[in-house]
Structure formats: structure tokens, C-alpha cells
Amino acid sequence: MKTALIQQANCSDIQKNINKLKINILDCVKKGAELIILQELHNNLYFCQTENVKNFDLAEEINGFSTQFFGKLAKENSVVIVISIFEKRAVGLYHNTAVVLEKDGSIAGIYRKMHIPDDPAFYEKFYFTQGDSGFEPIKTSVGNLGVMVCWDQWYPEAARLMALAGAEMLIYPTAIGWDIADTPAEQQRQKEAWIAVQRGHAVANHLPVIACNRTGWEQNPTNENDGIKFWGHSFIFGSQGEILAQADENEQNIIVEIDTKRTEDLRRIFPFFRDRRIDAYSDILKRWNN
């Protein structure tokens, strides 16, 4: 099954970002993609660099502009698309939500980001309520998609829960980048850690893992720091953690063949799920051991 991701740099002009996404989606379709993943909050600049109530104007309902626009593209091209929106769920209640659009343009399912980060220039706890939809794969015509979002990618619990719930691949729309003040060595370690932890999820669960990251530098609106340099390097690992594709820092569309059938072969000879000590895991539900 040909799977694509679109790694893009964004500007302040939403229409330009969307036009570019459309061109890239059509490029992926032309190359045979049946599933296309967009990066986190792909319509906009990453507005969480600062806490500003005006940014709530960017939010939309699930059945809003993005679902209609990309749903039309999904239908016209008979392709499944994973989009990422700033969701207005109710007055004063917002989420960071992935929406999966089926080949007929309908909504196959949604996922509300469960783990919400908050650190300098990534003030997401101001904007997004943590999800309450749990870790449920979304059933589609191309398989059960374990869609999560960004910060979720650091949590082995989240990957495992998606696997236990029948996910056939793990998918992470992401917007992660460097504080330019960090040393190049520290930047490299952060990027490598980000890749490594998700590769670990592939191996531990015998599932393909797809991470679609933003790229390009975005200025800090308040100039409190030097902005974020989103590091790109989107990737696709196979179900044994083998690298199938890896982007660099440039904008690019990646299209590769993913073989979800390999999961069963691997689980037969490395039967991790047979031997899980569920009788001994209960402390995972604790904040800490004291």
C-alpha cells in the first residue's frame, strides 16, 4: 500500500499554505499514494509560539473548512487523507485534532491529541484541552490507522495502546523544531532522540510508524526568542523498525510502499504480545511510585 507524507514549510498566508498542500496532494496521488498524511496544524504558522487569545479565531469545527476542502480532494482523488486541525469543540473548548478523511470524502474518524506539551515557544496547554477520545485506531479502507499527534510520539504507552486496540500502523502528524539558541550538538541529539523513540515503537509493536513533520524557520511573533527552526526529517519505519524513507530538512513529498502483512510474520517469531506481564504492570497507572 503506497503511503505518502507531505513535509512543508508554512507562511503567514493560509491560502498559500493550502494551495501548496493541494498541489502536493495531487503530486502524491499521481505517484500512486492511497494514504496521504499531512503535518500537524498544516494550514497555519505554528501559532503556539506565543499565548494570544486572538489565535482562537483560527479554530474551526470538525465539519468546517478543512474537512470540506480536503474531503473534496480525498473524494476527487479516491485517497485517504489524514489532516490536522485546530478544533473548536465548543465555546471556550479547543483541541488539537487529527481528522481522517475516507476515499469518498466522508470523515472516517477523529483523534484528539491526548498528551499536550508546554515548554518555551510551544505553549500548547494554553490552546488545547487534552483529548478524551482515548487511543482508538480509526477504521478506513486502507486499514486501522493508529493516528496520534506530535507530543504523543514520546509515549510508549500511547503506541502500545494503539497496538492493543488493533492499529495496523502508527501515524504522527508533528510540528517539532529547535530552539536556535541550542548548540548544533544538542540539536542533533534532540532530533536523533525524536527518531529513536518512534523507531522503538515500531519494533516494540511490530507496526510501521509514519511521522510527518513541519520544516522551515518561523519567527516568534513577540520576539521573545529567535523563533523555531522546524527540523523536518519526516520518516517512515517498517514494522521491524527498518527505515523505509527519511526526509532531510527540505520541503518534500515522500511516497513509499508499506507492507502491513509483515506484522504477523514478525509477531510469530518475536511474540512480544504472548509474554506481556499484564499481572505486573499496574504501577504504570501511577504518576510515580510514591
Is 241 near its own copies (CB under 8 A)? Answer: yes
Active-site residue, from 28, 34, 40, 102: 40
Is 32 near its own copies (CB under 8 A)? Answer: no
- Measured from the CB atom, is 91 or 269 closer to its own copies? 269
| Short-list 40, 35, 58, CA closest to 150 | 40
* 87, 56 Cβ separation under 8 angstroms: no
Q: Which residues neighbour 152 within 8 Å (Cβ) at sequence distance 6 or greater? A: 113, 114, 115, 158, 172
In the complex, least distance from residue 104 CB atom to its own copies, rounded to whole angstroms: 27
Residue with cell 508533528: 174
**Selected binder of its own copies within 166, 224, 259, 261 (CB under 8 A):** 166
At CA 160, angle to CA 157 and CA 163, rounded to 5? 155
In the complex, least distance from residue 22 CB atom to its own copies, rounded to whole angstroms: 34
Residue 133 DSSP symbol: S
**Selected binder of its own copies within 15, 183, 223, 282 (CB under 8 A):** 282
Distance of CA 57 to the CA centre of its chain: 23
Is 283 near its own copies (CB under 8 A)? Answer: yes
> Is 113 known to be catalytic?
yes
- Measured from the CB atom, is 75 or 262 closer to its own copies? 262
Distance CA 273, CA 61 (A): 38
Site string for its own copies, 254-273 (x = CB under 8 A): ---------------xxxxx
- Measured from the CB atom, is 192 or 264 closer to its own copies? 192
Residue 55 DSSP symbol: G
H/E element holding 5?
Answer: strand 2-7
Is 160 near its own copies (CB under 8 A)? Answer: yes
As given in the structure block, the three cell numbers for residue 127 are 490552546
Residues with catalytic function = 40, 113, 150
Residues lying near its own copies in the complex (CB under 8 A) are found at: 114-117, 119, 130, 134-135, 151, 154-161, 164-166, 189-190, 192-193, 196-204, 240-242, 269-273, 275-278, 280-289
